[in-house]
Structure 1
Amino acid sequence: MMEIRVNGKPMQVDGVRTVADLLKRQGIKPILVAVEHNGSIVPRAEFETRTIEPGDTLEIVHFVGGG
């Protein structure tokens, strides 16, 4: 179990090693979001390989359609 911050709120997660793991755990489709990890944008191609460590900060922004 480790603690991270997601969208400004503390979150306890277990079994989460990558950005992709976190999105899956949260039920979020990767194609619909942008992710910032410790202040830098994570390219979607790196979601599977970008590791998350205790104390990391992530911002997940959902794309919204409309006009």
Structure 2
Amino acid sequence: MELIINGEAINIPDHIKTAAALLNYFQLEDKVLIVEWNEAILEKSAHYDTTLCAGDRIEIVHFVGGG
């Protein structure tokens, strides 16, 4: 399935069905981040319930500490 992730078309395996599975696939499940799905910010509680479809636009923003 092809998704637009952070502005780039990326093919992901078809077994990735939810936002939570996508974060797990990219090994981001333990990061502090924000997920935007088709221009709507997802609450963390919705990551497991949000079903992804081909062509969805996903923005993943995670925070990096430093000084």
Q: Is the 8 A contact 1:20 1:30 kept in 2?
A: no
Deviation of 1:29 after TM superposition, in Å, equals 2.4
Which TM-score applies when normalising by structure 1?
Answer: 0.89
- Counterpart in the other structure of 2:55: 55
Deviation of 1:66 after TM superposition, in Å, equals 4.3
Matched, 1:44 2:44: yes
Partner secondary structure for residue 35 of structure 1: strand
Cα distance between partner residues in 1 of 2:57 and 2:29 = 19
Cα distance between partner residues in 2 of 1:66 and 1:33 = 16
Q: Summarize the alignment of residues 8-19 of structure 1 with structure 2, pairs less than 5 Å apart.
A: 8-14=7-13, 15-19=15-19
Which TM-score applies when normalising by structure 2?
Answer: 0.89
Letter in 2 for 1:41: I
- RMSD of the TM alignment (CA)? 1.3
Partner secondary structure for residue 60 of structure 1: strand
Give the unaligned 5+ runs of structure 2. Answer: none
Give the paired residue count.
Answer: 66
